[in-house]
C-alpha cells in the first residue's frame, strides 16, 4: 500500500534532532523524499544514515535558518536532488528565557526572532512560489502552547511563538486560492534531547521531568514521535480542507487552569 506521502518532496528544518528527526523518519516511512535542513552536520549525517538504512529517501543539507542565503541554497539543493518541494515543516527554533523582560538584551530579542520567526518566513518565502505554481502545497509551522498562554519568565520566546500563529494565519489567507495550505502544530512539553539536557543541568532531572509532566492533565510529557503523527496529518491530504488553523497537541495543558 502506498504511503500517505508517497512521492511528495518535504523539507524539514531542524530535522536532525528531536521533533524534527521524528518527523523526518515518519515522513520517509510514508513515502516522502525528505530534505533534512539543519546546522548540526554530525546529527544530520547520522539521521541520513539511519533513515536511508531503513529504506527512506533522505538528504541532508547543512542550513543556517538565521541566514536567508543559506535557506535559498538549501531549497535549490532540494530541487536538484528531489524536485520542487510541496511540503515544508518549519520546525527549527530555539528557546531562551529572561526572568525580567526589560533585562532582555537587544541581541537576545534579535537573535530569537531571527530564527523562530524570520527564518520561518524566509523558508516559507523560498518554497511558496513552487507550491503556487503546482497549485498544491502544505506548510506546517511549529508553534507551542506558549503561542496561546503566557507563563512568567518565558520572554521573549513566547512572543515569537505568538508571532508564529500570526504568520500562519496570514499566509493561509494570502495563498489559499493557490491551494497552498498553512497550519500550525502547537506542542506542550516534548522530551527532546534538548529538554533532557536542560533538566540534567538542574541536578534533579527526574524530579523536574516529573514536575513538568504533571502540569499536563495526561500527567506526562510527550515523546517526539507523538508530534510527528499530527505533523503527518497536517502535511497529508487527510487535512485537505484545513488551513490557517492551530492544532494544539499539548496533553491538555492549555485547557488546564492553574493559579
List the catalytic residues: 157
The C-alpha atoms of residue 162 and residue 142 are separated, in whole angstroms, by 11
DSSP class of 250: S
Grid cell at residue 109: 530579542
Three-class SS of residue 249?
A: strand
Q: Are 38 and 89 in contact, with CB atoms under 8 Å apart?
A: no
Give exposure, 116-137, as e/b (b: 16+ Cβ within 10 Å). Answer: bbbbbbbbbebbbebbeeeebb
CA 8 to chain CA centroid, nearest Å: 18
The C-alpha atoms of residue 28 and residue 19 are separated, in whole angstroms, by 14
Q: Angle at the Cα of 34 (from 72 to 54), degrees rounded to 5?
A: 150
Of 126, 122, 110, nearest in space to 160 by CA? 110
Amino acid at each position: 500500500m502506498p504511503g500517505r506521502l508517497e512521492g511528495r518532496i518535504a523539507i524539514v528544518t531542524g530535522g536532525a534532532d528531536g521533533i524534527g528527526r521524528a518527523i523526518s523518519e515518519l515522513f520517509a516511512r510514508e513515502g516522502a523524499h525528505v530534505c533534512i535542513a539543519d546546522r548540526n552536520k554530525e546529527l544530520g549525517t547520522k539521521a541520513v544514515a539511519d533513515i536511508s538504512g531503513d529504506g527512506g529517501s533522505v538528504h541532508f543539507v547543512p542550513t543556517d535558518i538565521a541566514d536567508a542565503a543559506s535557506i535559498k541554497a538549501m531549497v535549490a539543493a532540494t530541487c536538484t536532488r528531489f524536485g520542487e518541494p510541496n511540503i515544508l515543516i518549519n520546525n527549527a527554533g530555539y528557546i531562551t528565557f529572561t526572568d525580567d523582560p526589560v533585562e532582555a538584551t537587544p541581541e537576545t530579542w534579535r537573535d530569537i526572532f531571527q530564527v523562530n520567526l524570520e527564518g520561518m518566513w524566509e523558508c516559507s518565502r523560498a518554497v511558496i512560489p513552487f507550491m503556487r505554481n503546482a497549485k498544491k502545497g502544505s506548510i506546517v509551522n511549529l508553534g507551542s502552547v506558549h503561542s496561546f498562554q503566557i507563563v512568567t519568565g518565558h520572554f521573549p520566546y513566547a512572543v515569537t511563538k505568538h508571532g508564529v500563529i500570526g504568520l500562519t494565519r496570514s499566509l493561509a489567507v494570502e495563498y489559499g486560492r493557490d491551494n497552498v495550505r498553512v497550519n500550525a502544530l502547537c506542542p506542550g512539553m516534548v522530551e527532546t534531547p534538548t529538554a533532557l539536557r536542560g533538566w540534567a543541568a538542574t541536578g534533579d532531572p527526574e524530579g523536574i521531568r516529573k514536575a513538568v509532566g504533571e502540569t499536563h492533565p495526561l500527567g506526562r510529557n510527550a515523546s517526539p514521535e507523538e508530534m510527528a503523527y499530527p505533523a503527518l496529518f497536517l502535511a497529508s491530504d487527510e487535512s485537505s480542507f484545513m488551513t490557517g488553523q492551530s492544532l494544539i497537541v499539548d496533553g491538555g495543558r492549555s485547557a488546564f487552569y492553574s493559579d
